[in-house]
Amino acid sequence: MNIPDRGVGLTYFLSLEPFIQSNIDLIDVIEIEPQNFWHHTLSDEFKMDKEVMEKIKNIPCKKIIHSVSIPIGGTVIPDYKQILLLNNIIKEIESPWISEHLSFNSVRYNGIMFNTGFLLPPIQSKRSVEYISRNINILKDEFQVPFAIETGVNYLKPNNNEVRDSEFVRMIVERSECGILLDLHNIWANELNGREKVEDFISNIPLDKVWEVHLAGGTREDNYWLDAHAGTIPDQLIEIAKNVIPRLRNLHAIIFELYPSYATKIEQNILREQLKILHSLWDIRGSDIREYSYERGIYNYNEPDYIPEEWEYTLARLVNGFKINTLLGDRLSSDPAIPLYNKLISSFRASMIARALPLTTRLLMLSLDIESILSDFWKIDMPKLFTTDEALSFIKYLEDLDLKIEYLKDILTLEKTILLCKIEDKNEIIYFKYNPLKVLESLLKMQLPSSVEPGIFEIKIGENGISNIDIADTNER
């Protein structure tokens, strides 16, 4: 397969653009996660943010796509509408391949369909391999470029009813003939958390299928090492990479994964040093000319006594705080990673709401126990895949609660309109019975307004948010 080299780079976020532009001499490629920059419309369509796409296209380096919302590790078929948009983006930025996670994030069980709130590990069984191979073949047929699976992180304890991590990846790749995005930080985190050792994993997968490597930092929480994309790459992981990368003869990219919230805490010269380390690793790719082999088709394990659909439903419900009174539910609920997943999902959902509804979030924090409100919301509402969907669902929940908090109804109307105008590309005018500027300014300062100016004020809202606030012409109204 003729796949071009893309070199060394990092994941793209809007807030990282100044660093990317000023350090383009060290950045051969940026990896785009398109779903971070597209909207889910009310008509169940998906559209990319045009402004962001133009920014991406104007960055003077190569681009590759890493999808983050149609993982192939479950029994649910990948969403065809997302595939259509991904294909358009592949063409626009000329990505030579596309990758997705060996995880699942949606569940269909007994006619019920819901999102998990987190990328979760599939059951590692022969039945699961059949579903995953089907999903990969669907994507291979639909995408205009080659497809690779990313090796995932798994916080659950290994059990005897599953094939080993490396054998599971090997079974899938052999059956599906796809590429591998080898996330070395994920594999290292799995070892630190009690799963298969990195060297055993590396020795048991087809290294000639590795097209891309991810490296990242992590963080410690509740006795687990988390794949948090936090800070610099640990020295131990760099040493692992120095041992592995020379054995990768078909490696086409090395990507440094770093979330913007952590990037702002690192000096630019340190980030440059991280990229220089990646360049030194790139220079030794495929340099080990020794022949390596791995065992094919030897899978000594007991097939689980439950089907993948039951695994997905049970795990997804447990990590979202629900009890499952079945044998599998009892087994999984005793795993110490279950409360960790629940904690991570709660944090992720809260951050989605805070990003989409900053004014509402501030007003609730200043007025009552917002954690209690969020906790009650999550007990009756499963996670949504996209931020706007999560935010609109929370708005509906608050509207039904009818909390007696001054300004809340108006702030909800304002932020709901902003969201809808953004995802639907439309303009709206809403009216306040007081000057909203004092309220908005106070909330941005994390304060409740002490007084407001009465009157009729109109707020003009477009796809880019509030465009104007002025005294309303009551005759026109």
- Tell me the β-bridge partners of 212: 181, 253
Q: Is residue 21 part of a domain?
A: yes
Residue ending a domain, choose from 282, 305, 325? 282
- Burial of residue 91 (CB within 10 Å: 0-12, 13-18, 19+) is exposed
Tell me what pLDDT residue 294 has: 67
The three-state secondary structure class of 27 is coil
Tell me what pLDDT residue 265 has: 87
CB 20 within 8 A of CB 265: no
Tell me what pLDDT residue 428 has: 96
- What CATH number corresponds to the domain at position 115? 3.20.20.150
Residues 40 and 166 in one domain: yes
Which residues contact residue 263 at a Cβ distance below 8 angstroms, ignoring those fewer than 6 apart?
13, 15, 16, 19, 271
Instruction: Give per-residue pLDDT as tens, 418-434.
Output: 999 999 999 999 999 99
Residues 228 and 367 in one domain: no
Tell me what pLDDT residue 247 has: 97
Residue ending a domain, choose from 282, 316, 346? 282
CB 166 within 8 A of CB 102: no
Confidence class for position 159, pLDDT limits 50, 70, 90: confident
How many beta carbons lie within 10 A of that of residue 393, not counting itself? 15
Residues 268 and 360 in one domain: no
Residue 308 has pLDDT above 90, yes or no: yes
How many beta carbons lie within 10 A of that of residue 259, not counting itself? 17
Residue ending a domain, choose from 264, 282, 300? 282
Mean pLDDT throughout 386-403?
A: 96
Residues 260 and 367 in one domain: no
Percent of the chain with pLDDT over 70: 97
Q: What is the dihedral of CA 234, 237, 243, 248, to 10 degrees?
A: -110
Tell me what pLDDT residue 412 has: 97
Tell me what pLDDT residue 1 has: 72
The three-state secondary structure class of 113 is strand
Instruction: Give per-residue pLDDT as tens, 332-390.
Output: 999 999 999 999 999 999 999 999 999 999 999 999 999 999 999 999 999 999 999 99
Q: Is residue 347 part of a domain?
A: no
Q: Is residue 237 part of a domain?
A: yes
Mean pLDDT throughout 16-37?
A: 96
Q: Is residue 328 part of a domain?
A: no
Q: Is residue 302 part of a domain?
A: no
Instruction: Give per-residue pLDDT as tens, 220-277.
Output: 999 999 999 999 999 999 999 999 999 999 999 999 999 988 888 899 999 999 999 9
Rounded distance between C-alpha atoms, residue 385 and residue 376, angstroms: 19
Tell me what pLDDT residue 298 has: 53
Residue 477 has pLDDT above 60, yes or no: no
Residues 263 and 365 in one domain: no
Residue 446 has pLDDT above 70, yes or no: yes
Residue 296 has pLDDT above 70, yes or no: no
Q: What is the dihedral of CA 20, 21, 23, 25, to 10 degrees?
A: 110
Residues 18 and 123 in one domain: yes
Mean pLDDT throughout 59-80?
A: 97
Residue 43 has pLDDT above 90, yes or no: yes
Give the range of the structural domain holding residue 436, as residue numbers without chain letter: 354-471
Residue 211 phi, psi (nearest 5): -100, -25
Mean pLDDT throughout 97-116?
A: 95
Token pair for residue 396?
Answer: 């509906």
CB 394 within 8 A of CB 353: yes
* Beta strands at 210-216 and 179-183: parallel, antiparallel or unpaired: parallel
Q: How far is CA 39 from CA 281, 327, 387, in A?
A: 37, 40, 9
Mean pLDDT throughout 437-465?
A: 93
How many beta carbons lie within 10 A of that of residue 205, not counting itself? 23
Mean pLDDT throughout 275-298?
A: 86
Residue 160 has pLDDT above 90, yes or no: no
Residues 57 and 192 in one domain: yes
Instruction: Give per-residue pLDDT as tens, 109-152.
Output: 888 899 999 999 999 999 999 999 999 999 999 999 999 999 99
CB 116 within 8 A of CB 105: yes
Residues 131 and 22 in one domain: yes
Residues 128 and 263 in one domain: yes
Residues 231 and 379 in one domain: no
Tell me what pLDDT residue 305 has: 82
Tell me what pLDDT residue 301 has: 64
Tell me what pLDDT residue 344 has: 97
Q: Is residue 338 part of a domain?
A: no
Q: Is residue 299 part of a domain?
A: no
- Burial of residue 174 (CB within 10 Å: 0-12, 13-18, 19+) is middle
**Number of domain units in the chain:** 2
Tell me what pLDDT residue 157 has: 97
Computed over every residue of the chain, the mean pLDDT equals: 94
* Amino acid identity, position 347: S
Residues 380 and 268 in one domain: no
Residues 273 and 127 in one domain: yes
Q: Is residue 228 part of a domain?
A: yes
Residue 474 has pLDDT above 60, yes or no: no
Strands (E), 231-313: 253-257
**pTM for this structure?**
0.95
Chain centre distance of CA 95: 19
